[in-house]
Structure 1
Amino acid sequence: MRIVLLHPPHTAIGSRVPRENLPPFGLLCIGGPLIDAGHDVRLVNADLGPMPLRTIRREVLSHRPDAVLIGHSGSTSAHPTVLKIATALKAWHPDLTIVYGGVHPTYHWHQILSGTADIDVILRGEGEETVTALMGALEAGIDLAAIPGLAYRKDGLPHATPPAPMIRDLDAHRIGWELIDFTRHSYWGGKRAVIVQFSRGCPHLCTYCGQRGFWTRWRHRDPVRLAREIAWLVREKGVELINLADENPTSSRRAWKAFLEALIAEEVKVTIVGSTRADDIVRDADLLPLYKKAGCLRFLLGIEGTDEATLATVKKGGTRAKDREAIRLLRDNGMIGLCTFAVGFEEETDRDYWRLLRQLLAYDPDQVMSIYATPHRWTPFHGQSAHRRVIRTDLRLWDYKHQVIETPHVPAWRVFLWVKLIEATLQLRPRALWRAYLQPDRDMRHAQRWYTAMGRRVWLREITDAILKPARKGPTVADYWGAEQLPEEAMARTAPRIAAE
Structure 2
Amino acid sequence: MPRDLVLVVVPPNSNTVITGRLLTVTRPEEHSDWSDFLCLGALSLVSSLATNPALEPVYIDGTITPLDDILECITAHADRILAVCLGMLTANYEAGVLIARHAKDTDARITTVAGNDHFSSLPTVCMNASPSLDYGFVGNEVVGPFTDLIGALRAEAPIDPPAFPGLVYRADGLVHTTPTRAEPVFSGYDYTLVDRVFPQTPLYTRQFGHRIAPRIHELLGRTVTAGMPVDIGRGCVKFAADDACSFCSIHPGQLWRNQLTPAQAWAAIEAAWNAGYDYHYLTADELPLTFAQLLTGMAADTPAWWSALSENERPLLVGYGRADGIADPRKTALLTSLGVRQIMIGMDAGAATSLAAMNKPVGGRRRNVLAEAEKLYELNSQAITVARDHGMLIRAGFVVGHIGMTRALLTENLERILALITEGGKHGVFSAIDAEVLSPQPGARDYTYLTTPDAARQAAAKLGLTVADDATLAAVSARWAHQDVVMPEDAMRDYTLALMPEITFDDLAQARATIRSHAKACGVVIGE
2:515 alignment counterpart? 422
Asked if the contact 1:371–1:400 (Cα under 8 Å) also holds between the matched residues in 2, the reply is no
Q: CA deviation at 1:84?
A: 0.8
Q: CA deviation at 1:149?
A: 1.0
Distance 2:517 2:337 in 1: 32
Distance 1:84 1:30, change over 3 A: same
Quick check: 1:246 aligned with 2:284? yes
Sequence identity percentage: 19
For residue 286 of structure 2, what is the amino acid of its counterpart? Answer: N
Q: Secondary structure at the match of 2:118?
A: helix
Distance 1:401 1:296, change over 3 A: farther
Structure 1 residues 307-346: aligned runs within 5 Å: 307-317=351-361, 319-346=376-403
1:69 alignment counterpart? 85
2:169 alignment counterpart? 152
Structure 1 residue corresponding to 2:265, chosen from 226, 238, 241: 226
Distance 1:82 1:154, change over 3 A: same
Q: CA deviation at 1:91?
A: 1.0
For residue 253 of structure 1, what is the amino acid of its counterpart? Answer: A
Aligned residues: 427
Quick check: 1:405 aligned with 2:495? yes
For residue 495 of structure 2, what is the amino acid of its counterpart? Answer: I
2:9 alignment counterpart? 6
For residue 68 of structure 1, what is the amino acid of its counterpart? Answer: V
Q: CA deviation at 1:293?
A: 4.4
Q: CA deviation at 1:320?
A: 1.4
1:265 alignment counterpart? 307
Q: CA deviation at 1:219?
A: 1.5
2:204 alignment counterpart? 185
Q: Deviations over 1:382-414 (max 9, x none)?
A: 333434548999957428996662131111112
Distance 1:394 1:341, change over 3 A: farther
Q: TM-score, normalised by structure 1?
A: 0.77
Q: Secondary structure at the match of 2:84?
A: strand
Q: Deviations over 1:71-97 (max 9, x none)?
A: 15xx11111001111111111111101
Q: CA deviation at 1:302?
A: 1.1
2:427 alignment counterpart? none
Distance 1:266 1:81 in 2: 47
Distance 1:224 1:266 in 2: 17
Q: Secondary structure at the match of 1:185?
A: helix
Distance 1:89 1:233, change over 3 A: same
Structure 2 residue corresponding to 1:35, chosen from 50, 53, 60: 50
1:443 alignment counterpart? none
Q: Secondary structure at the match of 1:368?
A: strand
2:109 alignment counterpart? 95
Quick check: 1:84 aligned with 2:122? no
Q: CA deviation at 1:50?
A: 4.0
1:255 alignment counterpart? 294
Distance 1:397 1:113, change over 3 A: closer
Distance 1:349 1:176, change over 3 A: same
Moved more, 264-273 or 15-24: 15-24
Asked if the contact 2:295–2:335 (Cα under 8 Å) also holds between the matched residues in 1, the reply is no
Asked if the contact 1:202–1:248 (Cα under 8 Å) also holds between the matched residues in 2, the reply is yes
Structure 1 residue corresponding to 2:408, chosen from 346, 351, 358: 351
Distance 2:516 2:291 in 1: 33
Asked if the contact 1:373–1:400 (Cα under 8 Å) also holds between the matched residues in 2, the reply is no
2:332 alignment counterpart? 288
Unaligned segments of structure 1, at least 5 residues? 437-450, 456-501
1:444 alignment counterpart? none
Q: Deviations over 1:263-312 (max 9, x none)?
A: 753635212222111111123x1243443343322211112322223323
2:134 alignment counterpart? 120
Q: CA deviation at 1:67?
A: 1.2
Moved more, 8-17 or 40-49: 8-17
Distance 2:158 2:258 in 1: 32
Quick check: 1:237 aligned with 2:275? yes
1:489 alignment counterpart? none
Asked if the contact 1:271–1:295 (Cα under 8 Å) also holds between the matched residues in 2, the reply is yes
For residue 58 of structure 1, what is the amino acid of its counterpart? Answer: E
Distance 1:231 1:60 in 2: 35
Asked if the contact 2:90–2:442 (Cα under 8 Å) also holds between the matched residues in 1, the reply is no
Q: TM-score, normalised by structure 2?
A: 0.73
Structure 1 residues 451-462: aligned runs within 5 Å: 451-452=525-526, 454=527
1:110 alignment counterpart? 124
Unaligned segments of structure 2, at least 5 residues? 16-25, 196-200, 214-224, 362-372, 425-429, 454-472
